[in-house]
Structure 1
Amino acid sequence: MAYLTQPDYVKYICSCGQLKPITSLYFCRHCLKIRCGFCICHEVDSHYCANCLENMPSSEARLKKNRCSSCFDCPSCFHTLSTRATLAQPRQAAQDAAAGGDTKVENKQPKKMYYLSCFNCRWTSRDVGIPDQPVASGGWPERTNPFTTRMNQLLDYYKAIAQQEKQEKLERERKKFAIRGKYITLTDKTGLTGAMARNIAGLPSSDGGSSSAIANFVASQASEDVDELPEDIYTKEVNLKQITSMAQRLASPEWQPATVSRLHPLAKLLSVKRSQRCRACDHNLTKPEYNPGSIKFKIELLAYYHVPEVKVISFETIKPGEKSALLIKLTNPTGHEMQVRLLQPEDLPQPEEREEPKSIEKSLEKSLNLEKEPLPETVPDKPSGVRVPASSRVCPPSMTLSLPQRDDAAEYDDDAHHDTDDVILWRKSNKIALRLEVVTESTVASGVPANALLALEYSYRNTVPPPPTAGGTLAGTTPAPRDHTLYTTVLLDLGVVSG
């Protein structure tokens, strides 16, 4: 979701310091913060095939190795293969019964057969000798990997090692955090671990399978015997049309075909529907419908629907030491009236507690961590450690702007109310156009990006019911919505500074 006619001239500063367009941000209605893709947790809801829209649970998708059993991709150009039907003519068995010319002919009806074909590169399953199938879906022959046994041994070995390391880590944690005084279980009182208690009682060990897998594993041995190259490898003419490319070989890592005649259809990879949660409060930001054919969302907390949108209409050429005109448009996407005030970034109220200065690289490294780490409770809208380049300065007006609620029917109304104010250019439904001034210092060199920071103070009505209190809520009463004053900072891209 992005603008088709306008690049990202306006970028918002996320609570972690990232610069993102409003179409790539989320808004958490519980902690009232703007979140980007690095501030949320991703969870897989369901697996489905994008071609046949077959939905399957995670356990079944794991057994099928995340591939569909009835849809295939072309091994040559990687487009989706289509099933085509043909009529197979039966063989006519004619035998002469006698020398006098008696002939016995067996007539049969043509039988419909199916094969796979690619409409992009014209590759068919007949090119590699795959026989036609009597059914349209399923029944296609599957090749067995000759190294399946060895791969299973390696998987069992590494699983056993991971289980053993996990048990050792648990033992170290038990010794480190010894319980004194009160004992929860008998093993805590006597100092016996679960494995020692099972050995004393004569029971089999819980990790017996892991120990046997490690003990029975046979490591691979390097061999000096290497197959010799053919004698005509340097003299034989190479036909590039019969040799597979690197992408075609890596698409089938089990076999890695070297020639085009050994290409086989590739089972189509499954797609996933994912939900996203806020790292700070653990509430859902997006949650799609379970049906793979539906594009709707049960929960869709995008910043595009909750945060006022800033869009650049036009601007004059930015020159050092001069003032330039800037026309922007503010839009209220919510269903309630919004009060907006433009400020300088340094005029934003500072939170009581700030984080230590951090860079974008550190925030990325922390966000990409596999373990789920909650964000701190107070995260500034503009972290002090993130240096945002700004060569120009916007002069905001000292007035408070009132934006009406969003009205879908008013989108088709072309009449806009033009104002005589020096700041307000026109009003239309939930949109307002402003005329601002941009001041550039005389020390700015020509050719550098002309960027300007602008802070927004806006009112937001939260319709999420508050958490239950000790006194409870009266039956039949609806909790009143709560109004909040929120802040955000945007970066305007105004081209380059001209000399």
Structure 2
Amino acid sequence: MAYLTQPDYVKYVCSCGQLKPITNLYFCRHCLKIRCGFCICHEVDSHYCANCLENMPSSEARLKKNRCSSCFDCPSCFHTLSTRATLAQPRQPPQESSSGDAKVENKQPKKMYYLSCFNCRWTSRDVGIPDQPVASGGWPERTNPHATRINQLLDYYKAIAQQEKQEKLEKERKKFAIRGKYITLTDKTGLTGAMARNIAGLPQSEAAASSALASFVPSQAADVGDELPEDIFTKEVNLKQITSMPQRLASPEWQPAAVSRLAPLAKLLSVKRSQRCRACDHNLTKPEYNPGSIKFKIELLAYYHVPEVKIISFETVKPGEKSALLLKLTNPTGHEMQLQLMQPEDLPQVEETEEPKSIEKSLEKSLNLEKDTSSYLSLCRALAPAPALSCRVPAPARALTLSQRDDAAEYDDDAHHDTDDIILWRKSNKLALRLEVVTEPTASPGSPARATLSLQYSYRNTVPPAAAQPQDHTLYTTVILDLGTVSG
């Protein structure tokens, strides 16, 4: 007997065909479907620093290049740098007294701060960065020598993107223009976009784009590059003074070649993201806005809505023979659940009906390609790997009842053992089943032993439409059981 505790030995089949453990799946309570990471849209809610927990809006994070201004990482080992304090005696020039003797004026030592790494003992003093009088902020920032050229390239590409967008809008306006009707107010009054911006006092974006395109100077490739030093092949190399490739790529603006040119790296910001169902656009997970909070406003994980299947133990699988299999079923919901085991070929075929499409919906769908659910799900089904099944689990033709979840019953050690041929024991919302695994005679020894099993379970939707009672639904899911390898 082999005891398995890892969750990856039981995988659920997502609605798009992907195989995922239940801990990596979501459940949409609006369309009643299981969703994986490929079936949802990811949205960034807020940016924050994981070290100082400073929260900032997206516009500010974009200006700061998604980096914190007061936290730094070590450029040598990439650990978080700490601020250390030290006392520095200010140096004052000697002053001559009335008798002609030099008189030194003593002042109180001043507290200064520098950055230090507790992991590799790197400090900002090693590279000649002067100590700062304040603990946070005020650290000198290196300027990129190619910043002017990079800004010119950014303006040029922004102008090209704006020009292409304007041409696309003009084509769409001509395509959907109807005689006697006006799509926008400017079509009716004859007011152009430039005149509208002049009246509103907005900057001339088209004029700025035209000037950026006209004043752009393309780059010229040089035939001759920088010459190498004469002693490049004869000079002894000291690896302690040369930076490694990760250290250079951590600073792509400068890419320092010597260790003495390393500078503290501003810490990258972390994000809190919410996940939305692609089919119905409802939130599946939404975190709290506070960066220090680990709770979620909405947390629709499949672990809390779909019955969990675990493998307790199984016998060695041999070709053409039967072996015992013990499964544990758990009801995670707060309502009683009716469950029945089935074969995948016995599941009812649900036909997906498409809504009538209008011109507005088709146009919106063409502009938002990422929300095209049907084509995206068909692509996921095509890319989903088809597992090779060499075993079969005969499903018992009887319904099972799982009690609702009770947190107080988790501390009860008494399990009710049944004398049934199928049910091994019951405990609170858990149920152990005794099943058989039938292996195909053509299964080759050493090949993966996988079996599939479908579940039909009842689910009570606690988020119905307004002014309606909770509804009970009959849902289906399919699991893939990994039983090791086929023995010879």
TM-score with structure 2 length normalisation?
A: 0.89
1:445-493 superposed Cα distances (whole Å, 9 cap, x missing partner): 1111000000000000001031x5xxxx5xxxxx321000000000000
- 2:364 paired with 1:375: no
| Counterpart-to-counterpart distance in 2, 1:314 and 1:289 | 40
* Residue 86, structure 1, aligned to residue 75, structure 2: no
Question: 1:389 and 1:266, CA in 2 relative to 1: closer, same or farther beyond 3 A?
Answer: same
2:235 aligned residue: 236
Question: Which residue of structure 2 aligns with residue 363 of structure 1?
Answer: none
Number of aligned residues: 467
For the Cα contact (< 8 Å) 1:198–1:205, is it kept in 2? no
Equivalents in 2 of 1:55, 1:456: separation in Å? Answer: 44
Q: Is the 8 A contact 2:13 2:479 kept in 1?
A: yes
Shift in Å, 1:6: 1.5
Say if 2:462 is the partner of 1:482: no
User: CA separation in 1, counterparts of 2:459 and 2:206?
Assistant: 56
Is the contact between residue 132 and residue 139 of structure 2 (CA under 8 Å) also seen in structure 1? yes
Q: Is the 8 A contact 2:12 2:478 kept in 1?
A: yes
Change (3 A) 1:298 1:7: closer
Identify if the C-alpha distance between structure 1 residues 235 and 340 changes in structure 2 by more than 3 Å, giving closer, same or farther: same
Query: Which position in structure 1 is the counterpart of 2:337?
Result: 338
Q: Which runs of 5+ in 1 are unaligned?
A: 356-368, 474-478
Secondary structure in 2 aligned to 1:349?
A: coil
Q: CA RMSD in A?
A: 2.8
Against the structure 1 CA distance between its residues 432 and 56, is the aligned structure 2 distance closer, same or farther, given a 3 Å change threshold? same
Deviation at 1:408, TM superposition (A): 0.8
Question: Structure 1 pair 107/52, CA: closer, same or farther in 2 (3 Å)?
Answer: same
Task: Report matched runs for 1:308-457 at 5 Å.
Answer: 308-353=307-352, 371-376=369-374, 387-457=386-456
Partner of 1:496: 485
Does the residue aligned with 1:8 lie in a helix, a strand or coil? helix
CA distance in 1: counterparts of 2:387 and 2:353, whole angstroms: 18
Q: Following TM superposition, by how much is the alpha carbon of 1:131 offset from its aligned partner in structure 2, in angstroms?
A: 0.6
SS at match of 2:153: helix
* CA–CA separation in structure 1 for the residues paired with 2:264 and 2:323: 61
Q: How does 1:66-105 map to 2 (within 5 A)?
A: 66-91=66-91, 104-105=103-104
**Change in CA separation of 1:384 and 1:345 when aligned onto 2, cut-off 3 Å:** farther
Q: Percent identity?
A: 80
Distance 1:47 1:304 in 2: 28
Three-state SS of the structure 1 residue aligned to 2:370 is: coil
Q: SS of 1:484's equivalent?
A: strand
Cα displacement (A) at 1:105: 3.1
Q: Against the structure 1 CA distance between its residues 220 and 184, is the aligned structure 2 distance closer, same or farther, given a 3 Å change threshold?
A: closer
Give the corresponding residue for 2:158: 159
Report the Cα distance in structure 1 between the residues aligned to 2:210 and 2:11, rounded to whole angstroms.
55
- Which has the larger displacement, 222-231 or 165-174? 222-231
Contact 2:285/2:296 (8 A) holds in 1: yes
Q: CA–CA distance in 2 between the matches of 1:257 and 1:325? A: 63
Distance 1:464 1:32, change over 3 A: same
Alignment CA distance shift 1:110-1:440 (3 Å): same
Stretches of structure 2 that go unaligned for 5 or more consecutive residues are 355-366
Contact 1:345–1:453, Cα closer than 8 Å, also in 2: yes
CA shift for structure 1 position 280 = 0.5
SS of aligned partner of 1:207: helix
C-alpha contact (below 8 Å) 2:7/2:310 kept by paired residues: no
Aligned residue for 1:295?
294
Contact 2:177-2:183 at 8 Å conserved across structures: no
Q: Name 2:113's counterpart in structure 1.
A: 114
The aligned counterpart of 2:360 is none
What residue in structure 2 maps to residue 38 of structure 1? 38
* Residues 336, 50 of structure 1: alpha-carbon distance in 2 compared, 3 angstrom cutoff: same
Amino acid at match of 1:305: Y
Q: Indicate if the aligned counterparts of 1:145 and 1:254 stay in contact, CA closer than 8 A.
A: yes
CA distance in 2, matches of 1:81, 1:459: 53
